[in-house]
A and B are shown apart, each in its own frame.
Chain A
Amino acid sequence: MPFWKRSSPEEEQQRVQAQQEAEASLRSLQGGGLPTQALRRLSEETAAGHPLFSSDLSTKEFALTRNQGYRPLSQVMGSSIYHVGWQYTLNYPRFTTAYELTTVTNAHQQAVQLALGRLQQEAALLKAHGVIGVRFNRREYEWGSNLLEYTAIGTAIRLPDAPLFPRPFLSDLSGQEFWTLLQAGYFPAGLVTGFCSYCVSAGWEVSQILRSWSNQEVAAYSQAIYTARDLAMNRLEAAARGLNALGVVGMHISFDKRENEYEREHDPTSYRDLFINFAAVGTAIISRRPDHVIPSPKPTLTFTDLRRR
């Protein structure tokens, strides 16, 4: 509708209704819940007894679901856009100092928890046993600095003749991985994550090493990378232990470093900060059967050159 046209009373009413719905959605989201649009789609589907399944499984993944007897219910999703708060960093240090950027770490952890919580709520609404084939994404948007979005999109499935779990399991596994895991008698317990943002503000002794001509380890940096990895992995392990898991498989680890160099007026020294970001995502598994018979794979040589792909 062009803006110079007057809206009719019906359109006005529609607009008011849309606005009320949006407000209800916002309230629900603030409590970590789902927006009304999602609630409506899922509850209508469940009420109608799933006349149609939708899935983001590829045809091959779908073929495997039929083979094991579990069936896809619907595509489900969870998303959260998060504003990362202000993080204090040390300026112009004399001695090398290493510290965790707790605000950033917590922002990642909370945003992921919100997104995964919503994914789980969507699956629970569908009375699903769990979610497979999760595509887990992090991205940043143009409109606003310090914004990050986590989105998890997957397919809710129902298992044959199994009672509903108190909470549907989440997994970061593809359809193929889930099938192989089930074959071997394991079962996903949940998606676990660990984050750590860490910073080293280099003091004079590190600067001297970096300027010198000799071969030498920058111990402060090695130490910081070790610590960051340790902290993140400890968090992931704690989450897995909380789920009574046997172990964690299908890990996706991202690790990036960024260096920031800055100077001060009337000061010949150049200061540098090393930022380390460590993120680990994996699926915690439990044992479903006492024996884990894994058929021995048959070695195959394909005539297709897979390196060119």
Chain B
Amino acid sequence: MSSQIPQQGSDLPAHARERLKFMRGDATHRSLFTSDLSVNEFLLVREAGFDPVGLVVGSSIYHIGFQFAGYRQNMEVNVLTQAMYHARELAMTRMEEEAAALGADGIVGVRLEVTRHEWGESLAEFVAIGTAIRSRDGQSFRNARGMPFTSDLSGQDFWTLLQTGYRPVGLVMGNCVYHVAHQGIGQWMKQVGQNVEMTNYTQALYDSRELAMERMQAEALSLNAQGIVGAQIHEGNHGWGSHVIEFFAIGTAVIASAPDHEVPPPALSLLLND
């Protein structure tokens, strides 16, 4: 029974291991891949010299703690920031482990989702899901940590990125949960009826976005990446009341795989489709 309980980032449930073992194929089983790639994506990934090896998932159900935040104070809610980050990381690590068990070089099309269930107030489920791929010529594409790279690139984006002489090293993320101060009567009196910038609100949201971006960049640097493409900033409120907001920055860290980055100029074309 104990083997079915996923331990902190070090082991996978027994069923997952069994599934992955069958997918790899052995003397009695033929290997089989599953994927959530579309037909075009599948062909482009093949064209880029990779084979899909299987759909991989990582999941973590996390109990999110509580932190008291001053009613009139702009501040980062560290407990929530850490919870949201750690839970995502657990899900990502488990997905990477599944991919490693399949002998994959990387994962494309990663989706990272947070869902709340009705059966637990402060519980949230974090799921990472993507398609593990393996390079056909045996060259290792693993990242600085020796784990398969992760990326949220579609098959098309992955092909294009490789064409430009870059390769993904990992999905990098940073987050910040921030408590936006409530407005005092004094300030309300000063601005009533007037056109003014709400600098305290601007500062709160600006700071938290910056913190999320900075953390994402720090994570990319730790992977020895040279850049981040497709960075997005999501804004979320996970049922903490309207004054607590999470900013979540996510992007794909890339590293040069060829010295020159010559890209053939695309031909202009005009679609005749409606």
Contact = CB atoms under 8 A, between A and B. Distances in A.
Nearest to A82: B197
Contacts of B221: 51-52
Nearest to B153: A59
Interface stretch (A61-69, A192-200, A213-221, A282-290): A61-69
A interface bracket (residues with beta carbon within 8 Å of B): 35 or more
Contacts of A81: 197-198, 201-202, 205
Given A2-B68, A53-B226, A79-B209, A106 B195 contact: yes
B74 to A, nearest CB: 6
Contact of B233 (A142, A153, A305): A153
Contact of A26 (B160, B199, B269): B199
B263 A79 contact: no
Contacts, number: 198
Given A29-B203, A62-B164, A299 B269 contact: yes
A190 interface: no
Contacts of B182: 143
A144 interface: yes
Interface stretch (A34-42, A238-246, A249-257, A259-267): A34-42
A25 interface: yes
A37 B178 CA distance: 14
Interface residues of B, number: 69
A34 B216 CA distance: 20
B180 interface: yes
Nearest to A78: B206
B232 A60 contact: no
A201 interface: no
Contact of B229 (A59, A79, A153, A307): A59
The secondary-structure label for the interface of chain B is: mixed
Which of B211, B267, B273: most chain A Cβ within 10 A? B273
A32 to B, nearest CB: 8
A114 interface: yes
Contacts of A306: 271, 273-274
A83 B230 contact: no
A271 to B, nearest CB: 23
Interface in B162-205: 163-165, 180, 182-183, 191-203, 205
A258 interface: no
B1 interface: no
A180 B270 CA distance: 13
Contacts of A25: 203, 206-207
A83 B229 contact: no
12 contacts: A1-B67, A1-B79, A53-B228, A56-B231, A62-B161, A63-B164, A67-B263, A110-B195, A114-B197, A143-B180, A298-B268, A299-B270
Interface of A: 1-3, 18, 22, 25-26, 29-30, 34-35, 37-38, 41, 51-60, 62-64, 66-67, 72, 75, 77, 79-86, 103, 106-107, 110-111, 114, 118, 141-144, 147, 149, 153, 180, 295-302, 304-307
Instruction: Enumerate the 9 nearest inter-chain pairs by beta-carbon distance, A residue then B residue, closest first.
Output: A86-B193, A3-B68, A59-B157, A53-B227, A81-B201, A300-B269, A85-B195, A54-B228, A297-B268
